[in-house]
Amino acid sequence: MTKKLEEEFNLPPIEEVTSTNIEPTVEETQEVIEEVQGALSISEKINLAFKEVKGLESHEVEMNDIAKKAIDSYEQLMNLGMNVSDMAAGKVFAEASNMLKIALDASDAKTKAKLQQIDLMLKKARIDKFDNKGTEAESVQATVFDRNELLKIINTKDSSPE
């Protein structure tokens, strides 16, 4: 059967594919390790920043409780739906799916709260950066030209030999 599939999908024989042993080089492995370590360090920094935020832990615990209760209710409703008549089972299964939706929404709320907090931290860092830059930077003097003066400057640069 695999020969027919190989011919149908124009694939190389399975022996060729399985016999080629492609192992990554040491350099490639080192690059992957460095990327993973960089991602982990960023993740650790984010987690440390979350510890400074008050109320985020309680929100996460509340959302976990809601999700757990919704999953438990879903399982109970599914068991009940299997034991009632077909006519009544539809409504029970619909409510069971609502419980799954509630659990999903609770999980999404946790993630959304964390992402909003990260966004606020980034915005604050950006504002702090620009505020510090504005106080430390030297004053810039601007020269005001009218259109004719700018055209003269451009024309002299275009006509000058370089």
The count of domains in the chain is 2
Q: Is residue 141 part of a domain?
A: no
For residues 60 and 47, is the Cβ–Cβ distance under 8 A? Answer: no
For residue 89, pLDDT beyond 60: yes
> Is the same domain home to 7 and 77?
no
> Is the same domain home to 20 and 84?
no
Residues 6+ apart with CB under 8 A from 102: 66, 67, 70
Q: Quick one: pLDDT at residue 44?
A: 78
Picking from 123, 114, 103, 142, the residue whose alpha carbon sits closest to that of residue 56 is 114
> Is the same domain home to 34 and 7?
yes
How far, CA to CA in Å, does 35 sit from each of 27, 44, 54, 96?
12, 14, 31, 42
How far, CA to CA in Å, does 10 sit from each of 3, 4, 32, 52?
10, 10, 33, 57
> Is the same domain home to 119 and 63?
yes
Over the range 106-120, which residues count as b (16 or more CB within 10 Å of their CB) and which as e? beebbeebbeebeee
Q: Is residue 60 part of a domain?
A: yes
Query: Among 13, 29, 52, where does a domain finish?
Result: 52
> Is the same domain home to 37 and 76?
no
Query: In which domain, by residue range, is 105 found?
Result: 54-135
> Is the same domain home to 75 and 127?
yes
> Is the same domain home to 48 and 117?
no
pTM of model > 0.75: no
Picking from 144, 160, 157, 65, the residue whose alpha carbon sits closest to that of residue 110 is 65
> Is the same domain home to 46 and 67?
no
Q: Quick one: pLDDT at residue 72?
A: 92
Q: Is residue 151 part of a domain?
A: no
Q: Is residue 30 part of a domain?
A: yes
Picking from 48, 157, 64, the residue whose alpha carbon sits closest to that of residue 102 is 64
Q: Is residue 92 part of a domain?
A: yes
pLDDT digits (tens, 9 = 90+) for 10-68: 888 877 777 666 677 778 888 888 888 888 887 777 777 666 666 667 778 888 898 89
